[in-house]
Amino acid sequence: MSKSNHERRMRYSIRKFSVGVASVLVASFFMGSVAHASELVKDDSVKTTEIAATNREKENDAKSGWGGIIDGSGKLLGGFSEIKEKLEKEIDESSLTSEQKKSYKEKIVKVKENDVDGLFGVHREYLNQLDFQYLELSKVEEEFKYQEEQIQRMFEQKGITNEDKDAMLKKIAEIHQEAEKDIKASGGYRDKLNGAKVKFLQNLDKLFTSTKSKFEKEMQELYRKKEAEIVKEKHLEKDKIYDDADVQKLRELEEDALKKLDEAKTNDEALRVKLEFARNVEKNSQQVQKVDDKLQELIKEAKRELEKLNQGIAEVDKLPELPANDSDYMVQKKYIWDEDKETIPKKIAKFKENLGKKTYTKESLQKFIDDCIYYQTHAKIEVMTRKVAGYRKAYPNNSEIEKEFVSHIKQTSSLTYASLENDSLKRYFEKDFAPAFERIKQIVEGLEKPHTPAQPGIENQKPSAPKTEKSAEQPKAGWKQENGMWYFYNTDGSMATGWLQNNGSWYYLNANGAMVTGWLQNNGSWYYLNANGDMATGWLQYNGSWYYLNANGDMATGWLQYNGSWYYLNANGDMATDWVKDGDTWYYLEVSGAMKASQWFKVSDKWYYVNGLGALAVNTTVDGYRVNANGEWVN
């Protein structure tokens, strides 16, 4: 995934003295100049000239202050002993080492009596020694101030914590104190000064390396955190993690940032790399969040499709099974629906298991949705096939029914819908199977439709005077109209109540046996019985509103998919139009009731966008256009 800290530290060590706290600092120290302030970087000749000029001023001051007699040309006359004594005292009180002090005193002893110029020659050499030491101390002091400013700026840019700032300032102060001590102990000797400078630079470079290592560690921790979030939000399996596009993007961001961190030459540059990485990672996280939102939408859709599938299976179970020994239905029963009954529960159980463990993915959810729609169609075909079996049994050898059955309903081993999926299955059902079923249903309704039940004979005539009973009357059977109401009598003469299936249609007879028309509430569900009493299915227009009645007759509520479009039925069953809020999501339904999806559209003077699931886009950018919290496009 990324290079180890050890490998990076090895590279940092190799780079020492070519890059570091600031490459200018390292290079300039080895050139004998000062870092971070170009006006202080001078070559050796300039520095020597300045030292010499400074020393002449100090020498003249000394000549004036040591009590000697100076003639008109500025030459010192007399006072040799006094000058010698004061020079020895100054050397004793200096920061030179004992060895250096001893060396200078030996040089003073070797100066001949009254050779004042000889004394001042020793004095100039002594001053040069001190000045080299002083200049190196000033460089260290300036670098110390520079590093303090850098640390403070890093803190102000929120690149380091207050605790980090305090710790780094403390470390810089320790390095500064150690460098001052080493330089003073060098006695001004160039080789010892260079050794002190090298040690100082090494300490600064170590601090810089540790800061970069700290930044690298923080960046890697951020990477691991965000990777874990992606895995959790997208429910990635372990062997699929590094194939995921979002994880790959995150890895690219990390690798690019670590490369830039390697190339950083100052703490400021390293900080910028760290902050840029954090910003890029956050942008990537926002994209992942959008993916998670998509997953939640897919879960809702999957649950809706599962509910519809369960309803479809319930409708199947209300009807008698197809005869097992009838070759006309063997393929449909044995090789399609019986296999479906084994497969469907397994798929539902797997879906629920994935939801519980949160191991689902976008692909697995979409696959389950497709499966639900697939088996919904199978259930509809099974319901219609069972109804057709009832029609054929009631009207055997009817040529019109048989023609439709053989041509469009019957499944054979060589011609079956079992191999069809998606659009092919939908097209077969809507264009071939369902129309054939409707034609058969119309044929049956024409044969025995109770809109004009068998006209009663004596019942519709004016009652005559009772006759003497000659023989036992035959019990009533079938539909009878009495006092303006329709009743149904079983073959044993008993009056039917509750649900009644007659000639392929369903009717409802109340407790006193009267046939019901209009709206009916039964066992918590609503049904609609037409004027002739048969139960309505499909779309129903009533009092200016549209309703949808499922194949089992119960009124639909909530989301409904019909002929490729989605509709929403309110709690009272009437079809919704305009804006509808389901949960936390808004949808828009056209005047026809069909839900808009995957498009921009205008309502009044506002533009809106809905995604493929119909959900209104809010607080995001679509096709380069920004939409606000209300979903309105904003300039």
In a domain, 308, yes or no: no
The last residue of one of the domains, among 381, 416, 447, is 447
pLDDT the model gives residue 338: 92
- 3-state SS of 330-388 is HHHHHHHHHHHHHHHHHHHHHHHHHHHHCCCCHHHHHHHHHHHHHHHHHHHHHHHHHHH
Distance between start and end Cα atoms, the chain: 42
| Residues 434/440/446/451 CA torsion (nearest 10 deg) | -50
What per-residue confidence (pLDDT) applies to 449?
43
CB 527 within 8 A of CB 549: yes
**Which token pair is 123?**
């004095």
**Nearest-angstrom CA–CA distance, 101 and 89:** 10
**Is 257 within the bounds of a domain?**
yes
Note whether 32 and 144 are same-domain residues: yes
Rounded CA gap, 292 and 286, in Å?
10
User: For residue 203, what pLDDT is reported?
Assistant: 57
Q: Which residues of the chain have pLDDT under 50?
A: 1-56, 58-59, 62-65, 67-74, 77, 188-190, 192-193, 449-472
Please report, for the domain that includes residue 613, its CATH number. 2.10.270.10
Instruction: Please report, for the domain that includes residue 368, its CATH number.
Output: 1.20.140.130
- Residue 402 forms part of a structural domain: yes
Asked whether residue 244 falls in the same domain as residue 341, the answer is no
Q: Do 240 and 331 lie in a common domain?
A: no
Taking only the tens place, the pLDDT of each residue in 300-329 is 898 999 999 999 999 999 999 999 889 999
CA angle 546, 552, 555 (to 5 degrees): 30
Amino acid occupying residue 293: D
Output the CA angle 585-589-590, nearest 5 degrees. 155
Do residue 86 and residue 173 come from a single domain? yes
The answer to whether the CB of 365 falls within 8 A of the CB of 299 is: yes
DSSP string for 461-509: SPP-------SPPPPP-EEEEETTEEEEE-TTSPBP-EEEEETTEEEEE
Domain identity same for 275 and 329 = no
User: Residue 157: inside a domain, yes or no?
Assistant: yes
User: Residue 154's pLDDT is what?
Assistant: 62
Beta bridge partners of 613: none
Q: Does 272 share its domain with 332?
A: no
For 210, counting Cβ atoms within 10 Å of its Cβ (0-12 exposed, 13-18 middle, 19+ buried), the class is middle
d(CA 40, CA 135): 11
**Cα–chain center distance at 232:** 10
**Domain range enclosing 185:** 5-279
Residues 150 and 27 in one domain: yes
Whether residues 254 and 397 fall in one domain: no
Q: Rounded distance, CA 287 to CA 293, Å?
A: 10
Per the domain annotation, does 517 fall within a domain?
no
Question: Among the three residues 226, 252, 279, which one is the final residue of a domain in this structure?
Answer: 279
Q: Identify whether residues 333 and 395 lie together within a single domain.
A: yes
pLDDT at 131: 56
Where b means 16+ CB within 10 Å and e means fewer, 66-101 reads bebeeeeeeebeebbeebbebbbebbeebbbbeebb
* 219 phi and psi angles, rounded to 5 deg: -65, -40
| Residue 159 DSSP symbol | S
| Any domain includes 27 | yes
Confidence (pLDDT) at 188: 46
d(CA 269, CA 22): 10
Residue at 536 is within a domain: no
The pLDDT assigned to 337 comes to 94
Tally of domains within the chain: 3
Is residue 136 within a helix (H) or strand (E), and if so which, with residue range?
helix 116-156
Q: How far apart are CA 475 and CA 109, in angstroms?
A: 157
Residues 193 and 262 reside in one and the same domain: yes
Closest CA to 447 of 520, 380, 394, 509: 394
Instruction: Map tokens 């002091």 to a residue.
Output: 141
Parallel/antiparallel/unpaired status of strands 599-603 and 606-610: antiparallel
> At a CB cut-off of 8 Å and minimum separation 6, what does 85 contact?
none
Judge contact between 188 and 133, C-beta under 8 A: yes
Q: Considering 248, 279, 310, which residue would you say is the last residue of a domain?
A: 279
**Whole-angstrom distance, CA of residue 338 vs CA of residue 441:** 25
Do 120 and 239 lie in one domain? The reply is: yes
Shared domain for 354 and 233, answered yes or no, is no
Any domain includes 546:
no
Nearest to 537 by CA among 321, 307, 315, 373: 315
